[in-house]
Amino acid sequence: MNMQPAQPVAPQPVMSELRVSIIGAMLVAIGPISMALFTPAMPEIVRAFGTTDAAVKMTLSLYFAGFAFAQLVCGPLSDGYGRKPITIAFMGIYLAATVAAILAPTIELLIAARFAQGVGAAAGVAISRAIVRDLFTNERSARIMNLIGMILGIGPAFSPTLGGITMELFGWHAIFAFMLAFGVTIILVVKFAMTETVVRDPSRVRPRALMRSYRSLSTSGYFMWSSLVMGGSVGALYTLATILPFVLMDRVGLTPTQFGLGMLMQSGAFFIGAVVMRRLMGTRSAYQLVKPGLWFIAAGSLLLAIGMHAFEPSFLLVMAPVGVYAFGIAFVMPAMSTASLAPFPHMAGAAASMSGFIQMGGGLVGGMVAALVGDPVIGISTVIPAMGFFAILSWFLWSRYPEPALARTVITPAAPAE
């Protein structure tokens, strides 16, 4: 009797797509939720500390700075010491900063606490994307990124509403209490529900190895242009967070609660875009759907640029184009997030960190330019469209590069020791 040799069975990922998606969404959401909860309180904080709009805007700008630059550190650290311990360590920084924000007696100390919050929250974006790359690639990775986007659309969608209502009922300090509870929840989830996906290797974080990794990434056109697509498109959402409170509350006249409810148009459009994207991915590649997403970004950019220059701002005149823009971003994120990490399984944390830095850096630069403009209406009508068209140009340049061979390699490691 002939016995056929057994075929090797590919090792199964240590976590399922759904589990990775839920944990990843929670990690990614901590940054935007900490921003969105806070934005309705910005005009009130101006009055509470007897300070200026510019000083309170610094609480967001420095949050972005901490978020952006810390990503260059937390991702490589997770390559060397493991995803779980580095996530918990950075979330500990986030919790300590949140307590400091609650107790801050001056606007300067609040700004410092927000910077430290950004440092702590940075681990969420970098490490969640690295975990996805540890386990999946190609369409499976894009599918997870899409599901993360769908879940991510829910939290930030309701955060401004929750922040506005909380502030009116209990004051702005209570907003940070919600952040504190969310941070504790994430630490518990990471501790008890997340499985480690890399083997500890401290040699990866030696200065020479780290510089070699970042040099390799920065000289890869495929990586840089895919990351810049995200920097221009998703970065615009972070820029909007620094502008919209002053456009909608100071110029249009919304209350903090109305502002929070109005932000559902942006987050809701993103969520709907992610749902539509998921249905279309049954018949089309995620990469094929980037181009339609960029058309929506272009349409939203043009509507903002023309409408804000031609008419006095109103809620629909501002938020309808922002919603169109956000709908398009949901089509862009899954493929571009996957593209920026796919060729680098051996340094997924560093790649996720640098890509996240570029993405958040886009928001930081956009917010700073908008602040320099002075008038928030002029800022939203010029900076946001410019970022949208920069994303389109970056995609055009990225599409000229062939897909690296490593991008087609599926990595499904066996479970390392806890």
Reported as a single tens digit per residue, the pLDDT across 191-226 is 888 888 777 777 777 777 778 878 888 888 888 888
Q: Which of 162-176, 291-305, 327-341 has the lowest mean pLDDT?
A: 162-176
Res 389: pLDDT = 93
Is the per-residue pLDDT at 405 higher than 70? no
Q: Which of 33-37, 250-254, 342-346, 354-358 has the lowest mean pLDDT?
A: 342-346
Res 413: pLDDT = 37
Q: Which of 132-136, 300-304, 326-330, 403-407 has the lowest mean pLDDT?
A: 403-407
Taking the C-alpha atoms of residue 375 and residue 380, their distance in angstroms, rounded to an integer, is 9
Taking the C-alpha atoms of residue 263 and residue 36, their distance in angstroms, rounded to an integer, is 9
- Predicted model pTM: 0.73
Looking at domain 17-399, its CATH architecture is: Up-down Bundle (1.20)
294-315 confidence digits (pLDDT tens): 999 999 999 998 988 888 888 8
pLDDT > 90 fraction of the chain, expressed in percent and rounded: 16
81-127 confidence digits (pLDDT tens): 888 888 999 999 999 999 999 898 888 899 999 999 999 988 887 78
Is the per-residue pLDDT at 155 higher than 70? no
In the chain, domain spans: 17-399
**Terminal Cα distance for the chain, rounded:** 44
Burial class for 152, CB neighbours closer than 10 Å (0-12, 13-18, 19+) = buried
116-141 confidence digits (pLDDT tens): 999 998 888 778 877 877 777 666 77
Q: Which is it for the CA torsion 119, 200, 227, 189, positive or negative?
A: negative
Residue 375 CA: distances (Å) to CA of 216, 325, 363, 370: 40, 21, 18, 8
